[in-house]
Structure 1
Amino acid sequence: MLVVPPPDFSLSPYTGLTRSHWTGYADYLLRSAQRFGTDDHANIYLPGANSRYGPRSDSLEAFARTFLLASFRIAGDPLNTGWIADWYAQGLDAGTNPANPDRWPTPGELGQAKVEAASLAVGLALTRDVLWDKLPHRVQEQLIAWFETVIGEEYPPINWVWFQIVVETFLASVGGRYSDEDIDAGLAIHDSLYRGGGWFADGPERAYDHYVGWAFQVYPQLWALMAPNDPRVAARKQLDGDRLADFLDDAAYLVGANGAPLIQGRSLIYRFAAAAPFWVGELSGHTRLAPGLTRRAASGMLDYFARHGSITSDGLLSIGWHGEFAGMKQAYSGAGSPYWAAKGMLGLALPADHAVWTSVEAPLPVELGDTQRLISAPGWQMDGTQADGVVRIRNHATDHANVGVAAADSPLYARLGYSTHTFPDLTSESLDNGVVFVDSKRGQTHRTGFEYLGSGSVGGVQVGASRFTANWIEPDPAAGPDHGSGVSGTATPGPVVTVVSATRGAVELRLVRIEGAGSSGASLRIGGWPVDAGSSMVSSVREVPGFGSALVESGTFVRPGAHPMGSELTIPWVGTSGPAHDGDYAAVVILAGEGGTSPDAGVRYAGGRFEFPDGTRISAEILARFGA
């Protein structure tokens, strides 16, 4: 059972969580998972769905990812974690014993094992004197031989390159074979994916998500701890440290007062793994955030998910966001996959007397006041509101694709907006934060492949824009597994659309210019934020009287049935009463929580200027600014 002390609101005034709470949750997760381990501890067969790679892969994944959590516990408290070290030592032996019929597949035999090998290597490096050094020579040799199958293997040019780097770096530290060429090639790919301001793209596409933090920022710092005497580490220390610090400056603004990280991007079933870059900033010393703010952000995430049922009655992490939700399963997701949430417990590797544990929690930016921030690489304009604690982004440069690609919209990347309090509609064809054309035969259009037109700030209003050809997509049934990108298919082009988002707090003025509507006969729909019907969150969309063409139709789309944060999704919309024509349209799109902006707040238009509810004004010429 879960054993934690009462909340301590003196040390942790926002969450009540201290290091003792973190260790309590960690031990509970470890003991619960171990109940499903084999007698020799080599594999953990958790209940639930398998990934496309099958149970042999999934049971290794469960072992490796819980071992990563175990290694953080051992590293931060070696004297009181012998029971953890002993359990996993047996599994490390049995899993790599060639004579064991239930041994692990090697990274040379199974692609997913390349991922899990990295968790094993990092964990062994962090606990070397407690675990590795005490393993029998035979077991060390088995592990070295198992790890060595990564040498010369091909890794996709995404965050995966770090799995090879850390494994071969560990091999070098224990006398195994390794390849400097592999390490150098991986570092080169890593650098090629850097997009500035601390942000990486997870591949050659515009794929910005939590992998920026829990992979591209975490692994360079763990690698540096693994090989402090490697000349490459010394040469990169300042570079990688500055990138991490820059990223954390943005990341602190992307956590809601409810503790939730931004709900955007793939692999969200890893949940509080989003806390990992905050912890690694303290572990490496490359952060400008106060220790109390670091713990506030990380503890907020753990508390958020614990309060919302992410841990089942069996003490397991399910596939989902709050509780279990099978619709979030991606092709590579198995029952052990959610345990990459272990990365978010990296702070346990820091001892109890570290400042990150002893400092009083400090407030998040959104708890200090209303916030605005332009994050250039992913093309996000962030607005946080202190009254309701909601953080929102409006998105004009992220779609997990490249300019000109005609594909269905990825629900977790291509929407115009994401927040810490709403979950995207997981259906690709959706009104969710959309500007779409609706045809009774062809359905709704998609925006993937759009052109980012830039962003900036004008008199306290943030402005961003993009332009796209609205495509109807007939999905290809053989498009392959879902790894984040929208489904490919046959595209039928529609009008060209320019969208400008002018935002101030909870209020977005969404300006739309249509060109080439011709005889398409399709209606325009401007959709708002997706909220659960039973939620206290309020989503509204209204037209702006007096500007451009009329938006006389309105309604609320309802998607019945469970979704990751509730039981019925609702999306308000406004649109044309018939076919849309070339010209300009404007709507006010609002997302607000309790105590926040009224859903009836409007934006007035008069004399060539828009006026926000608080009196802030902006010229209608912002459309022209972006070439519209």
Structure 2
Amino acid sequence: MQTFGFPIEKNPVKTRDDTIRSLIQITDPLIKYFVSGNTGVRIGSHGTVYSPRVIEMEGWSRMLWGIAPLAAGGGHWDGTELHFEGLKNGSNKDSPFYWGDIRDFDQRIVELAAIAVALLIAPQTYWEPLSAEEKKRLAQWMIRVNTCETVKNNWIFFRVLTNLAMERLGQPFSAEQTEKDLCFLESLYTADGWYKDGQQYDNYNPWALHFYGLIYYKYKKDDDVERCKRIKERAVLFARQYKAFFHSDGSTVPYGRSLTYRFASTAFFSACAFAGIEVLPWGEIKGLILRNLRWWFKKPIFNAAGLLTVGYAYENLYMAEQYNAPGSPYWALKAYLILALPEEHAFWAAEELPLTAEHQYSLLNVPGMLFCRTEDDTVMLNAGQYPGFALNQAAAKYSKFAYSAQFGFSVAVSGYGLEKTGCDSMLMLSKDSDYWRERRTVHDICCTPACLRSQWDPWPDVQVTTYLIPCKNAHIRIHRIQSACDLKTAEGGFAIPVFAESGDSVPVIRGTLDTACKGGGIIVKLPWASAFIADIGMDGTVCRTACDFYPEPNSSLMFNYTVLPLLTGDIRAGQTVLACITGASVSSRDVHIPKIDIDFEKRTCVIDGETVTLC
């Protein structure tokens, strides 16, 4: 896709000075959009679940995730004076620009975290210049959070950070509330470095629960010794697994909610560096962060005014959550915590190292994720999970069979009409060819390094057991379906871009793939990518048809118009077995379909003579 040619696209992001310049290139365009006594920024008109006034405040506060570390490291931003005026006005009850009292379950609680961290790491910029009265007003406004109810998840950390900042600044705080909150946060820990922020594992591990915990560690490791020891140990465990999400080119496997925060994906590693914990070799940490920034800055994530947009690899509201406001994407600036480190720190002094991967396949057993790494791509096979609240696009974000660093995934525009369902990397089922259902809540999960299994029930009278097996540059899907009624089925491979980055269009090449079963397969080729799917079902009564399929524009996170390979077919009531092999590549290449034999009695899948045990 085409970009606007901003200077940041040519920024090499190799050194600390390059990184500082990239932050300024991101934040400078915001200066002209300060409003309401500089207590907010107004950069868009779409709404969210909180008020327009708080939307503006959110945009103001999230800038702090970048400009506060810059100030802590001795840097300067031209908008600091205006921004600092907003801090004084927003926390002043007598000001016409007062942010308002902090209330129960208030979005202002979220934004307190950025202010608290700014006070912790750069008091010379955000605290010391305040008058005695201004300090008192700000402290009283912030500490009100101790009287408020809040969501019982990572939000609890916002109160911890606020109390920590007040303690460090010699202001009133609640040690009792902090201890209670920290005990709750530790209750979210499960195993092997993973926290469960609700009912699911997702990006709130790296860019929230670990991130805030590492800031707490930085300031309390000599006081709260045992707890901080656990924080460090868990961060080391998590780092060894989390790096599996990153591909060698800097891209990340997108999965779960809040993906509009983009390069916040590296905030965990930035926080490790800030805390002085070498969870990986310094050069590898540096490479992970800087390659990721470089990857993002080549994407059209900025609008014509140079402002970050809601979306992923381009501006896109279809994929947004109900809590994404125009200023929300600036949470990505958490990645810039490394700017608080001086030039001589081991992180900056290290030579940037490439990503190291010990194995082609790596299983993260706790979240049920099996990563498959090739030179072309990093793909995550997903046992499946589902959030415990009505999240926008929850099925697409948590329950697809596979997620790709290069090809991402697609969301649904509607459940009616197959082209609107985001059917890539998913088996869609319908009773009427109109309304389609996909995998959502799963149970009976089993994970091994060679196979993932889960059961899902699209209707009370339909049960599907799905097996996912990595296979070189592809993966195999097997579905055992027990249904009380006849069903229509559609199963999609990865969605690839129709247009070149220049905007040019070329003909799509469609090739057939022969398999041993009655059905067949298709490969879809373009000069810049190819994707295929081939039916390998063992059920002689089912014959699926392969075709190229064009989903609704802007349903993909990565590309604004896509094509994908698709299998469709009807199944009868009773038990049916469907199986396929599918994959994609960033080049236009031929594929080899291996000989595959599935034996449920022996619980095996034999792939070109190699046996995989079905879990």
Q: Does 1:466 align with 2:459?
A: no
The alpha-carbon deviation at position 254 of structure 1 amounts to: 0.8
Match of 2:584 in 1: 591
**How does 1:437-476 map onto structure 2 within 5 Å?**
437-440=429-432, 443-457=435-449, 462-471=450-459
Where in structure 1 are there 5+ consecutive unaligned residues?
9-15, 472-492
Aligned-residue CA RMSD (Å): 2.7
Distance 1:607 1:68, change over 3 A: closer
Match of 1:272 in 2: 263
Match of 1:497 in 2: 464
Q: Secondary structure at the match of 1:327?
A: coil
Q: Which amino acid aligns with 1:444?
A: W
The answer to whether the 8 A contact 1:507-1:588 is kept is yes
Match of 2:17 in 1: 20
Please point out which of 58, 61, 65 is paired with 1:64: 61
Deviations 1:441-488 (A, max 9, x none): 66222332211421113xxxx2111012223xxxxxxxxxxxxxxxxx
Match of 2:26 in 1: 29
Match of 2:225 in 1: 234
**How does 1:168-187 map onto structure 2 within 5 Å?**
168-187=163-182
Deviations 1:525-564 (A, max 9, x none): 3332233333733222112265776443222332232344
* Rounded Cα–Cα distance in structure 2 between residues aligned with 1:531 and 1:548: 31
Identity %: 21
* Rounded Cα–Cα distance in structure 1 between residues aligned with 2:573 and 2:497: 29
Q: Which amino acid aligns with 1:305?
A: W
Count of matched residue positions in the alignment of Structure 1 and Structure 2: 571
Please point out which of 545, 557, 574 is paired with 2:567: 574
Q: Which moved more, 1:338-347 or 1:577-586?
A: 577-586
Match of 2:217 in 1: 224
* Rounded Cα–Cα distance in structure 1 between residues aligned with 2:99 and 2:436: 46
The alpha-carbon deviation at position 198 of structure 1 amounts to: 1.1
* Rounded Cα–Cα distance in structure 1 between residues aligned with 2:364 and 2:180: 29
* Rounded Cα–Cα distance in structure 1 between residues aligned with 2:440 and 2:492: 16
The alpha-carbon deviation at position 239 of structure 1 amounts to: 0.7
Q: Secondary structure at the match of 1:559?
A: coil
Distance 1:338 1:383, change over 3 A: same
Q: Secondary structure at the match of 1:177?
A: coil
Please point out which of 135, 159, 180 is paired with 2:130: 135
Distance 1:409 1:307, change over 3 A: closer
TM-score by length of 1: 0.85
Please point out which of 337, 347, 371 is paired with 1:382: 371
Q: Which amino acid aligns with 2:56?
A: S
The alpha-carbon deviation at position 238 of structure 1 amounts to: 1.5
Please point out which of 514, 520, 528 is paired with 2:493: 528
Q: Does 1:392 align with 2:379?
A: yes
Deviations 1:237-267 (A, max 9, x none): 2111111111111121211233222211111
The answer to whether the 8 A contact 2:248-2:355 is kept is yes
Match of 1:46 in 2: 43
The answer to whether the 8 A contact 1:524-1:579 is kept is no
Q: Secondary structure at the match of 2:89?
A: helix
Please point out which of 177, 194, 200 is paired with 2:195: 200
Q: Does 1:618 align with 2:611?
A: yes
Please point out which of 290, 305, 318 is paired with 1:314: 305
The answer to whether the 8 A contact 2:259-2:312 is kept is yes
Q: Does 1:434 align with 2:426?
A: yes
Match of 2:208 in 1: 215
**How does 1:398-413 map onto structure 2 within 5 Å?**
398-401=385-388, 410-413=395-398
The answer to whether the 8 A contact 1:245-1:281 is kept is no
Match of 2:549 in 1: 557
* Rounded Cα–Cα distance in structure 1 between residues aligned with 2:289 and 2:205: 16
Q: Which amino acid aligns with 2:492?
A: G
The alpha-carbon deviation at position 616 of structure 1 amounts to: 6.3
Deviations 1:362-388 (A, max 9, x none): 11136xx862110112100000102x1
* Rounded Cα–Cα distance in structure 2 between residues aligned with 1:300 and 1:452: 38
Please point out which of 237, 246, 252 is paired with 2:243: 252
Q: Secondary structure at the match of 2:247?
A: coil
* Rounded Cα–Cα distance in structure 1 between residues aligned with 2:6 and 2:537: 56
**How does 1:294-443 map onto structure 2 within 5 Å?**
294-365=285-356, 371-386=360-375, 388=376, 390-401=377-388, 410-427=395-412, 429=415, 430=421, 431-440=423-432, 443=435
The answer to whether the 8 A contact 2:384-2:398 is kept is no
Q: Secondary structure at the match of 1:560?
A: coil
Q: Which moved more, 1:294-303 or 1:269-278?
A: 294-303
Q: Secondary structure at the match of 2:33?
A: coil
TM-score by length of 2: 0.86
Distance 1:257 1:548, change over 3 A: farther
Distance 1:2 1:537, change over 3 A: closer
The answer to whether the 8 A contact 2:409-2:558 is kept is no
Q: Secondary structure at the match of 2:34?
A: coil
The answer to whether the 8 A contact 2:403-2:409 is kept is yes
Q: Which amino acid aligns with 2:317?
A: A
